[in-house]
Amino acid sequence: MLSLTEIEQAARIVYGAMAPTPQYAWPLLAKRTGCEVWVKHENHTPIGAFKVRGGLVYMERLKKEHAGVKGVISATRGNHGQSIALAAARAGIAAVIVVPQGNSVEKNAAMRAFGAELVEAGHDFDAAREAALLLAGERGLSMVPSFHRDLVCGVASYALELFRGSPPLDTVYVPIGLGSGICGVIAVRDALGLSTKVVGVVSTEAPAYALSFSAGKVVATNSANTMADGMAVRGPDPQALDIILKGADRICQVSDDEIATAMRAYYEDAHQLTEGAGAGALAALLQERERMKGKRVGLILSGGNIDRALYLRVLGGS
């Protein structure tokens, strides 16, 4: 795992490109959930999601250790790709990002705006990742994984801000894509010697991490068909799963309907724009409101990048 010194060093790299994001206790969310709720606003980063932190740290170290790198390539549903595109541009490195066919139009536009070459391939994230690996070999590009120690070290900076900027928390709910976010929270919790429980959140339509957590080993699924594209993965990363097995209290599964309800709650109670995965933590807390009644809880609002048409449908209740 990561030491506090490593995390603080990574945070300094992050703060060269952005300010810390806020954590606020929203009274209407407290009324809705029956507990004190501290929201970590990772929808307020330069890409509207927490992933930028990991990209900045990864690219900084890649530039120092591999000065002659030709370019980088990675697969994404959007936020990881924006992170790599922004960080690569800052480092003066060309970036190719592979996304699934039919990916978010607005996330695709954002990645291009940060200077990345966008390639559409495969029907979902896992298929796009396979295409990226093939393209990396063909073009001689350095493959940036979606889970890596440097990525975890960078995103852990948000957990450091949360734990140092809020009162002691009983539990923190964290959405899981490939796991860098929850692993960063576990790393900081342990580095600070806190007793806070860490709860992962996945979609019922992409339950690979929940199934794997129950089985104690990697269990892949055949599909990941959820509107919460940040949680739409079929296969867990073995390193991430190992950390989660050792450091998480449990994993909750939330439906798309529960996620949509949480997205509307964020808009009504805190006037916050959230993507599906970003609202996953609140969806899980609402599911467990009786269990968490009267406690102090942290929620990771991991991102706010969602296409307008989809968000309008969610706000309209459909």
Whether the predicted pLDDT of 58 surpasses 80: yes
Confidence of residue 68 (pLDDT cuts 50, 70, 90): confident
What is the pLDDT, as a whole number, of residue 199? 98
| Torsion-angle region of 220 (φ positive above 0: left; ψ -120 to 50: alpha; else: beta) | beta
Percent of the chain with pLDDT over 70: 100
Tell me the domain boundaries of the chain. Answer: 4-50+149-315, 51-143
Give me the DSSP letters along 210-249: HHHHHHTS----S----S-GGG--SS--HHHHHHHHHH-S
66: nearest Cα among 143, 165, 123, 152? 143
Beta pairing partners, 5: none
Q: What DSSP designation does 278 have?
A: G
Pick the CATH number of 4-50+149-315 from 3.40.50.20, 3.40.50.1100, 3.90.580.10, 3.90.79.10: 3.40.50.1100
Report the candidate in 18, 27, 175, 127 with the shortest Cα–Cα distance to residue 83.
Answer: 18
Q: Is the pLDDT of residue 184 over 80?
A: yes
Instruction: List, for residues 100-122, the tens digit of each pLDDT value.
Output: 999 989 999 999 999 999 999 99
pLDDT category, 318, cuts 50, 70, 90? low
Q: Rounded CA gap, 95 and 147, in Å? A: 17
Mean pLDDT (the chain) is 95
Extract the tokens encoding 33.
């959930």
Q: Return the pLDDT at 77.
A: 87
What is the model's pLDDT at position 78? 86
Decide which of 3.40.50.1100, 3.60.15.10, 3.40.1080.10, 2.50.20.10 is the CATH code for 51-143: 3.40.50.1100
What is the rounded average pLDDT of the residues 25-31? 98
